[in-house]
Structure 1
Amino acid sequence: MDQLPPGNAPGLAYNSLQVGTVVAFGVTYGFCTIFLALRYFQAVTMVKKIELDLIILTLSYGAALVYFITMVVLMRHGWGRHIAELNMTDLLEFNQALLPNTLTYLITPAVTKMAILVVLFKINPSIIYRGCVVVVGVSIFAYTLVLTSIAGGPCSPLKEGTLSCLMNIALSQAVLNIASDLAVVALPIPTILALQLSAKQKIIISSILALGSGVVICSIARLPYVHKMFNDTDTTYTEAILGVWSIVEINLGIICGAAMRMKPLIMRWLPQLSLFSSTAKSKSNGKSAPGFLGTSSAALRTDPRKAQHTYQLHSIQKSSANPNSQDSDIHVYREHDVTTEHDGRSRGCSDTDSMDRINVPA
């Protein structure tokens, strides 16, 4: 058991668990800051817009900071210390500071998952796939709303006799959190398996999925400590261990959500890696399919009443006995693909033989 220095109050001396909590947050939140900053740099300089998932991730980033601040406040009243070291005043103040911490943790992972689901929704235009994404998103929103309402109302730690109720909320949230984490990680796997990817692309996608798996691992690692609190009287110490896993889980989720949309940045600043040099194609029909790292659906939908015009400009050097000759032909090919619908039938016509030739003398 960690002993307090003589004459110091519990909130003024930090033990190894409390210091470890601060270090865990500092390291993981630092990586969150770097990844989020890179996303904003990409949005401002390359994409030229702030995407919805980036806005949601920013909210989650702020909520993660609030969650840590509530932890620091709790440390002043015994969070991370053995309950035998605390007096009655510390415990009363601990319970009062516990509500913001509980509510913030219930909300923050859900917000992060919503940002990831926004990205996953775009990678496959299939109605069934998108329906699954929506179902997962609605489920996360529903259970988060219910648990938050209960924790802030009937089971509020500000009321007496609510410890058992709070334990039930913690256990329910842990189980539902694991289930939703698994669902979010599993959703894109069928789409990814249907693509023909290069080895480097597979490495990148596997790395991002590994980050997502890390979030699942953190959620699972928390579960035994949640169950332990039902029979453990040293709740102030056990809850702090839970807090460390929660910090890592939340921040890993933010990093994963930011990394999923960094393809343009990688292509511009790390072209030597050639991570996206080959086009991913579907195994089923050979058509271009969306990439996982921020590539939106490649399906092109055109109005059947309009013609599609494709212009290709070719400059062809004429062979000449004189190597200094600069004679060249510029060929402009004008292609027309027209699809019309009449009486429920499609009819296509093309005019690919039309060519305008312009000879430019040397």
Structure 2
Amino acid sequence: MSSTDAIKSIIPAPEGYVVNFENPQTQYVVESYTVVAVEMTLAFLFLVQRLYTKVAIMKQFQPEDAIVVVAWVLCMGAQICLLLGMTDGAIGRHAWEISIDQYTYYSKVILAAPLLYAFGTASAKCSLAMFYRRLNPNRIFQAFVWFTLFVTFGAYTSIFSSLLFACKPIAASWDPLLLPTAICLNRGGIYIAQAVIGIVTDVMLLVLPIPTVLKLQMPNKQKIGLVGIFGVGSITIATSVVRLIILLPALTTPDQTWVIGQGCLWIFIEANLLIMCCCLSTLRRFFKHFAPHLIGESSSTGNSKSNSRGFSNNKAQRTFGSSGAKRTLDTFMNTNNDSNGIPLSSFDDMDKSTKTTVVKAQRAHRDSDSEEAILFERSVQVTYEEARQDQKSDVRSHKPQVWTGNRL
């Protein structure tokens, strides 16, 4: 502890350094304010876009949407804590140019912000995993999704508990005067573990949907674009790596209030990118509703005029379950508020002992810009004839006919 001009600081200044409490040196303060102003606004707009699309356009407010809101609130809370620390002069300044009271405030901020950020990050990533859960009903895929959810939630819960109870007594985590007699864990190691967990879970969420995307029946260009949408989340991997690199020297320097300024800057970047990545899945549906020409879609009015009876102008006939690549993309991204199609049972899955099976096709509820043909309500009666055992030679091969949209 050092004292300069009757103001006590936590560490003494280096030899030859002129301490100036009135006008101290700062770093990454202006840059942080700029990043926060831009990215907080973008993250909020992305969140509003997602909520409007899911509630007003699709009318499907799902659990992951609520979790995104929770993630945004927690990430905002973490950023506000760090901003208050910068405004008070406790972050981005040399430790020998801030008072003991300011250092105590810094300790409180640097404890509260990671606690909020841990659960904010966990909420955002769990929301993405819950969205992935709807992409593929395959049991193996579902198992990987649940495994990712378990790892993400469990790891960040452990980080939260480790940070909160790092010192005994707990007050030593924010009161530097108690540190000489307190028993504390290596909090620097906990921060490194948090960054590493962030990188690992980001990689898991990046890789998880790729096998499903590659199996989609759509042009390769659309597959690449879809992988790119999920690949945007890899930006947070880069920010986590940078934050980890910055944290390593901060663990060995006593001037942590100075070094932590750069780390806070990258937290601002990463926290807002997480929210924006969570809102990308509804972006195409949003533009399809308000500005379809921006994504190469025709307007709903044009579709209604060109398809007077609801059938596509494409001369190629469509069968049950077939659709264009764009339609497939909407269905895969869960941004289509149409019904899931005609609930036709598979010929192979039907009970062959049943004499007659009746399958009904209901009129599909669709929005005005759907590319599907209007599906008329009709009943299809499928009759099975059992072959007698003594007439094995008279068994005929059955070739099922596929309905192509023309009236029978």
* TM-score band, normalised by shorter chain: 0.7 to 0.9
The equivalent of 1:278 in structure 2 is: 324
Measure the CA separation in 2 of the matches of 1:5 and 1:258. 47
Measure the CA separation in 1 of the matches of 2:164 and 2:256. 20
Task: Judge which range, 40-49 or 235-244, deviates more.
Answer: 40-49
SS, match of residue 122 in structure 1: coil
2:53 and 2:282 in contact (8 A); partners too? no
Select which of 82, 86, 90 maps to 2:102: 90
Output the amino acid matched with 2:380: H
For the pair 1:107 / 2:86, whether they are aligned, the reply is no
1:338 and 1:349 in contact (8 A); partners too? no
CA distance 1:281–1:39, change in 2 (3 Å): closer
The equivalent of 1:317 in structure 2 is: none
Length-normalised TM-score, structure 2: 0.68
Q: Report Cα offsets for 1:195-245 as digits up to 9, x if no partner.
A: 233466346424423320111110111111122122122211222211111
SS, match of residue 325 in structure 2: coil
CA distance 1:119–1:81, change in 2 (3 Å): same
Q: Report Cα offsets for 1:133-192 as digits up to 9, x if no partner.
A: 100111111111111112111345236256762111101111111000100111001111
For the pair 1:42 / 2:93, whether they are aligned, the reply is no
1:196 and 1:280 in contact (8 A); partners too? no
Q: How does 1:1-362 map to 2 (within 5 A)?
A: 8=22, 15-75=26-86, 76-155=88-167, 157-158=173-174, 160=179, 161=182, 165-198=186-219, 201-202=222-223, 204-272=225-293, 273-274=295-296, 278-279=324-325, 290-292=331-333, 294=335, 307-310=358-361, 334-337=378-381
Output the amino acid matched with 1:61: W
Measure the CA separation in 1 of the matches of 2:194 and 2:165. 16
Equivalent pairs, count: 322
CA distance 1:90–1:162, change in 2 (3 Å): farther
1:106 and 1:147 in contact (8 A); partners too? yes
SS, match of residue 8 in structure 1: coil
SS, match of residue 42 in structure 1: helix
1:57 and 1:254 in contact (8 A); partners too? yes
Structure with bigger strand share is 1
Unpaired runs of 5+ residues, structure 2, are 1-12, 299-322, 352-356, 364-375, 385-397
Measure the CA separation in 2 of the matches of 1:258 and 1:29. 14
SS, match of residue 359 in structure 2: strand
Output the amino acid matched with 1:336: V
1:337 and 1:348 in contact (8 A); partners too? no
Measure the CA separation in 2 of the matches of 1:110 and 1:249. 13
SS, match of residue 175 in structure 1: helix
| Identity value in percent | 20
1:60 and 1:254 in contact (8 A); partners too? yes
SS, match of residue 28 in structure 2: helix
Task: Judge which range, 299-308 or 172-181, deviates more.
Answer: 299-308
Measure the CA separation in 1 of the matches of 2:69 and 2:115. 18
Question: How far apart are residue 21 of structure 1 and its match?
Answer: 1.1
Question: How far apart are residue 113 of structure 1 and its match?
Answer: 0.3
